[in-house]
A and B are shown apart, each in its own frame.
Chain A
Amino acid sequence: MRSRADVTGANSLPRDPKREVLRAANIVHRINAQLTLQVAEFFLKPGEFVAVLGPNGAGKTTLMNILSGGLKPRQGSVSLAGKNLRDLQAPELAARRAVVRASSDGLATGLTAREVIELASLSQHISQRLLHTLTVAYARALDLEARLDADFGVLSSGEKQRVHFARALLQANGREPGFLLLLDEPFAHLDAKHAQAVTRELLQLKDNGATIICILHDINYAAHHADRVVLMKRAGVVAELPAKEIMNKALLEQIYETPFAIMRQGKKTYAISTN
């Protein structure tokens, strides 16, 4: 993968095009005349957990929307499991990938949390009974069981996020090898306990063969859980390296334009912004 600025001299990672879950080429997107994203090349390998980091306005969400098929770029193309996104209709996309967005509309839909989770069945042909069982199982794993029959609109933002996550898990169920999960700041409204529950499920999915791409603000989380980190800034990808190598003071300070300190605590390394 070509980087715009190779700060640390990180090498390109070895690639095998045939096995790529997702491949994007020559992506350019604008809103009016403003450039919002420019990426020459992007790919995802099966079973990997990629974290996308960067300051606000770097184009992370735009990238996510384009990769998920929800946004058509002005130029460029994206292929999911070999098929161009332009050739895939919404139902076919939903069978291959699931998206959890940063925030939910606070709409009073009248649907209950359970009913929102069960909407995953639009792309899944499963029996009512299995649907019901899985819904309860995922709700339990995410500490939502008590809220299943509450009106979705009155849930807290953290609860709403977990409901959408449960829904995505249901979408992925049974399809894990080759399935792609796109997450936009999934931990934004979650406390530590619930963040751990979500992480457990993510790692379980990964073990079953799914690919995960996740926009994060937490550098340490990315370093400790992801396989690869993509750093974005000003509508482009600036660097891309194995997660362990992200603890690089110079790199982080260049990306975030704020001082960092790198600290060791037992076996783990932490980057902390010092301001």
Chain B
Amino acid sequence: MKKAVLFLLLTGAAFATDKKRIVSVGAIASELTCEIGACGDIVATDVTSVYPPELMKKPKVGYVTRLSAEGILALRPTHLVVIDGAGPATALDQLKQSGVKIVRIPVGIGLGDAAKRLEILGEFAGNALAAKNLSQKMRADVTKLSHQKKSKRPAKVLFIYARGAQTLLAMGANTTAHELIELAGAANAFDAEGAKPVNAEAIAASQADIVLIPEGSLAGLGGAEALQKIPGLAQTPAGRKRRLVTLEDSLLAGMGPRTAAAARTLRSKIAEAMQK
């Protein structure tokens, strides 16, 4: 307690002017912190925080689960915004004991958690009203999209995430990718729970009409040509007709204010691809 008081006294000036120094950990935490207007107060982020692009210039405090207490304290933060699961617990404890306020963000994929994230951050940033408006707009946009009539035969989309060229994962139910596909009015071609490694047979069995792949994964694989060579793909309509749609990596971080717009873009891209 004494330590916290000392620490607060030293950073007293910062508090007096309500000047926050924020370290944000977790892609969705950083994105939303910026969204509610606290972007200028961010002094450092973790390595997964790549959106918005200006965050790339900030110092990096390591990976979500491997934070360095001393490294973070060196930046004299007033607040630490973290997603659930950040660690190690020792580092967070040390930071808490040193007087850094920790704001925790849930990571669930549904609309409920997305709204909660905005609510928590709005409260934190002192922008509760603005956050509420954002949240309501998000809720309205997303709900509208999910209530849109689906065509009789929605396009079957296979979402592929490449962890290096060796491991390909397909996204099944209960993933952000799945939500995006549904909101775009398409159907998930991959019938499983969560992210699963796929082999040629699974890909062929999906009979996907379209392959949806994040830009980072596509680059990692070696581009569209390399994608075509993936075993099993040639046996699907997506492979035969070369129907490939990409999206921004950062959209996979979690549902947020950008999701609805992204889903609409996706919808038109899918429609375009289906022309082939």
- Asked if A and B form a direct contact in the complex, defined as CB atoms under 8 angstroms apart, the reply is no
Binding site for B on A (CB under 8 A): none
Binding site for A on B (CB under 8 A): none
